[in-house]
Copies of this chain bind each other. A is one copy, B any other.
Amino acid sequence: MGANRRQRVVIVGAGFAGLFAARGLRRVDVEVTLIDRHNYHLFQPLLYQVATAGLAPSDIAWPIRGILSKQKNVTVLLDQVTGVDKTTGEALIGDSKIRYDYLVLATGARHAYFGHEDWEPYAPGLKSIDDATEIRRRILVAFERAEMTTDVDERTRLLNFVIVGAGPTGVELAGTVAELARRTLAADFRRIDSRSARVILVEAGPRVLPAFSEKMSSYAQKALTRLGVEVLLENAVTQCGVDGVVVDGQDIPSATVLWAAGVAASPAGDWVGATVDRAGRVFVEADLSVSNHPNIFVAGDTAVVYDSKGQVVPGIAPAAKQQGRYIAKVIQSRVDGTAPPRAFQYRHTGNLATIGRKSAVMELPFMRMTGLVAWWGWGIAHIYFLIGVRSPLTVAINWLWQYVTYSRGARLITGGRPGGADSE
């Protein structure tokens, strides 16, 4: 190992944190290996649109190789990391190992069911493209089966849609499912009236969008109600099974229950034996490294980061992006032998959530907006956010196009069980 060997940075995860860490190293004299178990970078804020048949997967996910093809110091590998050997400095991939000088763990989050993991098959969450297309399948097939059945109770059950958790994901899902039922599909059926579907949003806490201000919360709740969503606050799901849910003692028969009620970190914290919080997120130092392991960094939803005011940095995309870039700067300073950057400081860019196609709440540091102008502001913010991933103009034109044409192509039912009517 001569002094002139280029140092190796291994980044696990090609979400916002991992991708922008890789891009941040494009002018640094290191060999970067970026490993992800998917071949695409996923724009998670719009995953709910794929789940509700408003966008296609290819509208919100792009091959990592395509994004990084011009960056010659990056090698992309499609694989799954299963552990880390800190003593030898290697990441474990099945039977193989990859040596690192610097390791960045940016493996994101998964769903948390608060001890009720057995609910997962009946109440899928939304973290990946395959989650989204499965949810889309369930929603669309529910309407199809309702059209075919002659059993009145079964039809009612099929036309009840339950969303658990009223954070941004739950609110966005509820709003778009309601619109799907009330508008998009309204002319498509002859035996059922899709507009009679019930969309029920269940939240254990006292308000929707608990991370937003009360005023924005209240606006969002009214907008949801106008769309016909039934908002049940301070109600918790106590049972969940193939027939539906039980919410505070009340039976709600349903064929489509969607889980947006909690996330936990990926198991990366276990790989390095770091201290984690209750959700499995790794406590990191001021420079986002793991205690006593200055060459191992954790970023994004897998980390718990405190800002200078002592507040936890939210698990949202802009935070992950900033952390990824910051880590690249730290590594750069070490490779170049220059002074390290100051402690990581999160710059809050705001809270955004849409309600249907025409409304949104947008809480920026100095401004709040609601309604249609917030919806367009939300769109522009997200497109701007993609700079460095994909040409914003390309994305803007594509999304605008889908919006204007109601993206009928996104309403495909694919996959499913062999031999069933909804499969090949």
Contact flag A422-B39 (CB < 8 Å), given A75-B190, A129-B412, A415-B415 = yes
A409 to B40, CA, bound (A): 9
Contact flag A58-B421 (CB < 8 Å), given A148-B79, A414-B129 = no
Chain B contacts of A77 at CB under 8 A?
Answer: 144, 147-148
One of A210-218, A339-347, A400-408 at the interface: A400-408
Cβ of A239 within 8 Å of any chain B Cβ, yes or no, is: no
B187 touches A69 (CB 8 A): yes
Contact flag A148-B412 (CB < 8 Å), given A39-B422, A394-B405, A398-B401 = no
B413 touches A38 (CB 8 A): yes
CB distance from A162 to the nearest CB of B (A): 23
Chain B contacts of A40 at CB under 8 A?
Answer: 411-413
Chain B contacts of A79 at CB under 8 A?
Answer: 148, 421
B408 touches A66 (CB 8 A): yes
Cβ of A78 within 8 Å of any chain B Cβ, yes or no, is: yes
A132 to B83, CA, bound (A): 34
Contact flag A421-B80 (CB < 8 Å), given A56-B57, A56-B58 = yes
Cβ of A350 within 8 Å of any chain B Cβ, yes or no, is: no
CB distance from A391 to the nearest CB of B (A): 8
A421 to B74, CA, bound (A): 19
Cβ of A61 within 8 Å of any chain B Cβ, yes or no, is: yes
Cβ of A59 within 8 Å of any chain B Cβ, yes or no, is: yes
A414 to B130, CA, bound (A): 7
A72 to B421, CA, bound (A): 24
A78 touches B408 (CB 8 A): no
Chain B contacts of A128 at CB under 8 A?
Answer: 424
B187 touches A70 (CB 8 A): yes
CB distance from A18 to the nearest CB of B (A): 16
Chain B contacts of A61 at CB under 8 A?
Answer: 409, 412
CB distance from A11 to the nearest CB of B (A): 15
A228 to B422, CA, bound (A): 39
The residue in A410, A414, A415, A420 that gathers the most chain B C-beta atoms within 10 A of its C-beta is A414
A415 to B416, CA, bound (A): 11
CB distance from A368 to the nearest CB of B (A): 33
Cβ of A243 within 8 Å of any chain B Cβ, yes or no, is: no
Chain A residues numbered 140-167 whose CB sits less than 8 Å from any CB in chain B: 140-141, 144, 147-148
Chain A residues numbered 367-408 whose CB sits less than 8 Å from any CB in chain B: 390, 394, 397-398, 401, 405, 407-408
Closest to A37 in B: B421
Cβ of A62 within 8 Å of any chain B Cβ, yes or no, is: yes
Give 3 closest A-B pairs by Cβ, nearest first.
A58-B409, A65-B188, A56-B58
24 A–B pairs (Cβ distance < 8 Å), ordered by A: A37-B422, A37-B423, A38-B422, A39-B144, A39-B411, A39-B412, A56-B409, A58-B407, A58-B412, A62-B409, A63-B188, A63-B411, A66-B188, A66-B408, A70-B187, A74-B190, A76-B190, A78-B144, A80-B421, A128-B424, A129-B414, A131-B424, A401-B401, A415-B415
